[in-house]
Structure 1
Amino acid sequence: MKNKKTIYVLLILFFILTSTIIAGYCLLFNHPFQIEKRTYLYIDEDDNIDSVYTKIENRLHASTLRGFHLLSSLSGYAEQIHPGAYQIDASYTTWKTFHRLQHGMQTPVRLTIPSVRTLDKLVKTVSRQIMADSASLSGLLNDSTFCAHLGYNSNTLPALFIPDTYEVYWTITPEQFVERMQKEHKRFWNEERIKKAQHIGFTPVEIVTLASIVEEETIKKAEKPMVAGLYINRLHKGMPLQADPTVKFALQDFTLKRIRHKHLECDSPYNTYKYPGLPPGPIRIPSIDGIESVLNYTRHDYLYMCAKEDFSGYHNFAENMTKHLQNAARYQRELNKRNIH
């Protein structure tokens, strides 16, 4: 009889143990996410365990959180939440997902540096792609002491950024972001590119400055080396650039479609009608194509350019003022005809 009781107890314990294992397996190795493709789960610095649960439920459409509750209570995860961007697949189990979150195994995100006109726009775009907010990033880039430490000032700082797409961790700090941009800048400005710049007689910052003007003058990739060659001709001859985009930048009015005499009176070092040579710094963050168009500019004898009267986005080029005035007259007539002021 005693043996039978022992067997019964053992069977009950075995049943309980088996049931617990099965229940635990179902809780931890289930597939709770109702998502059709890989999805990023973003955990912020100020998230607590409840907000993490909410994000898992809403972002990943989790059918149950019981497994997460169990693992959190056993591991003390609530006291050591790691911020980051975690890429989660629909096939991930509760255990695999929790393991990644608990150990901070975040996934790199793609950070795109755009070709934009101002650092403010750059900051807004970047801050939407990483955890750092725009205020902290803007504060760092507007810190004159910090910029000087990098070898830049407020005018030349846009030359630091090379528009491209990079892989970074979402938790990258503003300081780490700038450090990464420095590394990419050094990688871009290799020995070959530096030699090309020196052959033209420019520093990398001056190349970027001219590239920014070229990009504002034309959106046509094939025409950029031509425009670059024209401005290099003017610089080598000691002629003022007389580039309309620099006047727009000086006035901080990028909506101007027609530059008039009153605009040319603007007293700014960026006004290349009033001040010779290159402006103090880039008037935008130019693309790699724009930079390459200056480094590999087209050799020609043109000194003047004017937008084509067909508004195709291309330009008429001229070697002398007489031809240029003829081109300009045709363009002005079209502006008047279309009532563009």
Structure 2
Amino acid sequence: MSRPRKRRLGLVLLVLFVGLSLVAAAAAFVLWQRYAAFADAPLSSIQENQSVLIEHGDSLPVVLRKLRDAGVTEGEALQWRVLARELGADGRLQVGEYALVPGSSPRELLLAMREGKVVYHRLTIVEGWNIRELRAALARAEPLEQEADQLDDAALMEALGHPGQHPEGRFLPETYLYTGGDSDLDILQRAHQAMARALDAAWQQRDPEIALETPEELLIMAAIVEKETGIGAERARIAGVFDRRLRIGMRLQTDPTVIYGIGESYDGNIRRSDLATDTPYNTYTRDGLPPTPIFMPGVDALHAVANPADGDALYFVAIGDGSGRHVFSRTLAEHNAAVRQYVRRYRQNLRSQSPQ
């Protein structure tokens, strides 16, 4: 081939190469623009109150499929994968439930998943609940997964790693946060551990002169005190009454234990016959503490029992004025007078509330 023809061929190839490069650059620019527009554009397909759940073992393709199922139509799989790699999110998406917020972008969504900004729900265990009430609250909680609903109390405690332990009083009343994918057993495990820590702290800080001999006894007594009063300032005084009764061998004679012994048949009224009916929880017919806690005490009740107030009162009864406060008495005669006063107030309130 002659030298001029070679030069012309080389020039043609150079022009072709430059042309293809320009085309490729233009295509890449267009693709980049499309990608940039996708990554930061609002996800208009998202509706209010939608979320997506990432579970253990979910890969990015699985998460993308879940997003499609939730109605997210923007972007191609390749764009999502490129964005995930750019953000360092590929393989680092954290387990949990994520809100699909209208107006958010794919970049914001993947960043939230990478950083674990999950949606949290709240469940509050109320002071004074029994295990039946706790189970009912767990059953109502959404989107909490239900694993304990088919377990009886014995199987439940075994599932939590505490076989043979009575469930009453073992779960600390407070508010617990959870996210999609969590189960009722997860909440119960955390609440059980929290109660164990709170009980240990109260026991370590106890007055060494109290009549209680073990942390278990402290938990049992705290459940009684929790149910006897909703007035924080009275807890230590009531704990003092019961501590003095134990010291002198006097029966506790506390209605909440009798009610617990009656069980689900309790209709809201406690009768003289109930006080005389012997059950393991009837502290009118039996000495000492009942065999287990009867309700779930809070931290304040635990510390009140660990450090009961000094005094000489052996009795207390509600004032009857609707405040929830009590009258404390040293002798039975004083107590009987306070009871008569309570009955008078109670009857007056009934008459004032009855239609004329």
Query: For the superposition of Structure 1 and Structure 2, which TM-score range results when normalised by the shorter chain?
Result: 0.7 to 0.9
| Alignment partner, residue 66 of structure 1 | 74
Q: What aligned pairs does 1:35-46 form with structure 2 within 5 A after superposition?
A: 41=51, 43=53
CA-to-aligned-CA distance 1:18-50 (integer Å, 9 cap, x gap): 111111121123343799x9x994517699769
- Kindly state the Cα deviation for residue 159 of structure 1 after the two structures are TM-superposed: 3.3
2:345 pairs with 1:334? yes
Contact 2:43/2:74, CA 8 A, preserved across alignment? no
In 2, the alpha carbon distance for the partners of 1:227 and 1:54 equals: 60
Amino acid at match of 2:315: Y
CA-to-aligned-CA distance 1:203-260 (integer Å, 9 cap, x gap): 222212212211222111111111111111112111111111222222236662x532
| Alignment partner, residue 276 of structure 1 | 287
In 2, the alpha carbon distance for the partners of 1:251 and 1:335 equals: 24
Cα–Cα, structure 1 residues 184 and 323, in superposed 2: closer, same or farther, change >3 Å?
same
Amino acid at match of 1:310: D
| Alignment partner, residue 216 of structure 1 | 227
State the SS of the aligned residue for 1:150: coil
CA-to-aligned-CA distance 1:298-333 (integer Å, 9 cap, x gap): 111111111113232111111111111111111112
2:174 pairs with 1:161? no
Q: TM (normalized to structure 1)? A: 0.76
- Kindly state the Cα deviation for residue 175 of structure 1 after the two structures are TM-superposed: 5.7
In 2, the alpha carbon distance for the partners of 1:85 and 1:65 equals: 19
State the SS of the aligned residue for 1:285: coil
Q: What aligned pairs does 1:194-273 form with structure 2 within 5 A after superposition?
A: 194=204, 196=206, 199-202=209-212, 203-252=214-263, 256=268, 258-273=269-284
| Alignment partner, residue 93 of structure 1 | 105
In 1, the alpha carbon distance for the partners of 2:207 and 2:143 equals: 33
Q: What aligned pairs does 1:22-171 form with structure 2 within 5 A after superposition?
A: 22-32=33-43, 41=51, 43=53, 52-53=66-67, 57=71, 65-67=73-75, 70=78, 84-86=96-98, 93-98=105-110, 101=113, 105=116, 107=118, 109=120, 112-126=124-138, 128=141, 131-133=144-146, 135-136=147-148, 139=151, 141-143=153-155, 146=158, 150=162, 153-154=165-166, 157-166=167-176, 171=181
State the SS of the aligned residue for 2:206: helix
2:30 to 3, 16, 19: 19
In 2, the alpha carbon distance for the partners of 1:152 and 1:161 equals: 16
In 1, the alpha carbon distance for the partners of 2:227 and 2:157 equals: 30
Equivalenced residues, count:
324
| Alignment partner, residue 61 of structure 1 | none
Larger radius of gyration: 2
- Kindly state the Cα deviation for residue 282 of structure 1 after the two structures are TM-superposed: 1.7
| Alignment partner, residue 88 of structure 2 | none
Cα–Cα, structure 1 residues 178 and 311, in superposed 2: closer, same or farther, change >3 Å?
closer
Structure 1, unaligned stretches of length 5 or more? 58-63, 76-80
In 2, the alpha carbon distance for the partners of 1:205 and 1:54 equals: 53
Cα–Cα, structure 1 residues 310 and 115, in superposed 2: closer, same or farther, change >3 Å?
closer
In 1, the alpha carbon distance for the partners of 2:152 and 2:117 equals: 25
Q: TM (normalized to structure 2)? A: 0.73
2:338 pairs with 1:324? no
Larger mean CA deviation between 266-275 and 18-27 belongs to 266-275
Cα RMSD (Å): 4.1
State the SS of the aligned residue for 2:41: coil
Contact 1:30/1:94, CA 8 A, preserved across alignment? yes
Contact 2:169/2:294, CA 8 A, preserved across alignment? no
Cα–Cα, structure 1 residues 147 and 94, in superposed 2: closer, same or farther, change >3 Å?
closer
State the SS of the aligned residue for 2:168: helix
Cα–Cα, structure 1 residues 143 and 107, in superposed 2: closer, same or farther, change >3 Å?
same
- Aligned-pair identity in percent equals 23
Structure 2, unaligned stretches of length 5 or more? 1-10, 85-92, 352-356
In 2, the alpha carbon distance for the partners of 1:144 and 1:23 equals: 54
Cα–Cα, structure 1 residues 45 and 125, in superposed 2: closer, same or farther, change >3 Å?
farther
Contact 1:162/1:185, CA 8 A, preserved across alignment? yes
| Alignment partner, residue 4 of structure 2 | none
In 2, the alpha carbon distance for the partners of 1:50 and 1:177 equals: 29
In 1, the alpha carbon distance for the partners of 2:97 and 2:259 equals: 40
Q: What aligned pairs does 1:280-295 form with structure 2 within 5 A after superposition?
A: 280-295=291-306
Contact 1:132/1:173, CA 8 A, preserved across alignment? yes
Cα–Cα, structure 1 residues 185 and 114, in superposed 2: closer, same or farther, change >3 Å?
same
Amino acid at match of 2:145: A
State the SS of the aligned residue for 1:66: coil
Cα–Cα, structure 1 residues 302 and 129, in superposed 2: closer, same or farther, change >3 Å?
farther
